[in-house]
Structure 1
């Protein structure tokens, strides 16, 4: 059965499950609940880690060097039991290593660690992917945290996402979960997007490039979350119809493009590690009431 690790300081308490190394809650000292609660009426996820793919594969099947492998949306890490490696008052690290089960669907000797760490009002989630084999290892990686919408104490207030770079990145729509090859105009104006549920009527808003490495999710004259991304060039925003959460998803890798090659190495923004190499992916979020 999954176990839960709690880390906390004077400002924040975070609970992380061994199943998927997935956050279960983020609570501030004033009792505010910032992370989605996983209500099955909308979506049971809370903050899944996406590996070894982000998004869907055509017919839920990957090709790796021409050989087919079954692969569900967003990969298998979120459904795997991780092992706790280290824990302290304000940090914990979980690890997942290749097994006979994972090699049956992803034939590589990998090691994935996920660390959650608190520093005052900032939470940092950092992951390391290691290729322990000898052959080049392609993969996608991403985070999928869902935050409360409305934010604590901000019911009835407009909420917005503001890109630090002031950009107006083009959107790449989804077709049956796969990326369309077309682009549509940006919903951002001078880096600002006022949130409305009808924006998500046709699935997630996916911005493969141009969103930058930092943004703020905030209520007007209210609480805010300030994000910074490391080695995560792609961004998606998503919610279910009328659901009280917003996913802010930084990725390195996307769903396969519609009609394109099903080869893993050909998916947009796929990373490839040579034997013995590692790669780090991280985001931090600072909470302000």
Structure 2
């Protein structure tokens, strides 16, 4: 692996660190000495970082197989911990630091669908990830450009890990949640049951979630009462899906992931209805998200 050197930004008391070689991941986001994202443990595992990009798809692809442009495409496994291809290509690649200022970074990544790389994703693309600190937190801008000569299905998202300090609360509104089959693929959309209803800010508890919510209103609130910190996650209105992962509290983290499409959307009868976007050659898909922080 390339050197796991970090790049650091600072502005208005916020600190943001990124490791381009570790999937372009955010490795720390803090206000003063309080970590708003789970800090990276220094290992070569990108899933131990603070946040990484999901592109050109989010979550799992059923059977590692999908249809596009009248052709069947098979993806190889990309994580020893998962039985299906997961989270796309970007988190497994070394990114390039294209621009750096005191409070702003631009990372880029190129994927060429040639040789073995076709097994990761059969379409060529470019990614841009801009990260910018301001007085209220961090702005994230993610863009994907289709560099292949045919129509390409696409999706984008972020996978932030939040620290699970005692008393942490979570709030978000969504219309439905997808129940999962034994492969953790969505099987049925149902109204959000009471145990998973976070329309009112409430203690995280042990909801046992690894599910995709649809009809999300593109905002979520996290609060750490003991530290007096509040974080508002605000995404583009087009990000109508939210994946929430709550492992046992002892693991010390949980994930709240804004994404542009439903899990396994590429294998839905109508992928576009579930957020999949089809890009013409040279066309661009861009999404934004911000983490706005206040003291409470």
TM-score scaled to structure 1, two decimals? 0.84
| Counterpart for residue 48 of structure 2 | 44
Q: Distance in 1 between matches of 2:201 and 2:269?
A: 34
Q: Deviations over 1:91-129 (max 9, x none)?
A: 001111123353343222211011110011220111111
CA contact (8 A) 1:24 1:37 kept: yes
1:226 Cα offset (Å)? 1.1
| Counterpart for residue 254 of structure 2 | 246
278, 285, 288: which one aligns with 1:279: 285
Normalized per residue, which structure has more helix? 2
Gaps of 5+ in 2: 78-84
Change (3 A) 1:110 1:77: same
Gaps of 5+ in 1: none
TM-score scaled to structure 2, two decimals? 0.82
1:182 Cα offset (Å)? 3.7
Q: Is residue 137 from structure 1 mapped to residue 152 from structure 2 by the alignment?
A: yes
1:246 Cα offset (Å)? 2.2
1:190 Cα offset (Å)? 7.9
| Counterpart for residue 64 of structure 2 | 60
| Counterpart for residue 97 of structure 2 | 84
- Which structure exhibits the higher relative contact order, with contacts defined as CA atoms closer than 8 Å and separated by 6 or more residues? 1
Alignment of structure 1 residues 163-178 onto 2, 5 Å = 163=172, 167=173, 169-175=175-181, 176-178=183-185
Change (3 A) 1:38 1:239: farther
| Counterpart for residue 270 of structure 1 | 276
CA contact (8 A) 1:218 1:224 kept: yes
| Counterpart for residue 23 of structure 1 | 26
Q: Deviations over 1:150-202 (max 9, x none)?
A: 2xxxx4x3x32233xxx4522212222201224143446582152334202xx
| Counterpart for residue 12 of structure 1 | 14
Q: Is residue 229 from structure 1 mapped to residue 229 from structure 2 by the alignment?
A: no
CA contact (8 A) 2:171 2:222 kept: yes
Q: Distance in 2 between matches of 1:103 and 1:288?
A: 44
Q: Is residue 121 from structure 1 mapped to residue 136 from structure 2 by the alignment?
A: yes
Change (3 A) 1:132 1:63: same
26, 31, 34: which one aligns with 1:32: 34
SS in 1 for 2:129: strand
Q: Distance in 2 between matches of 1:139 and 1:229?
A: 18
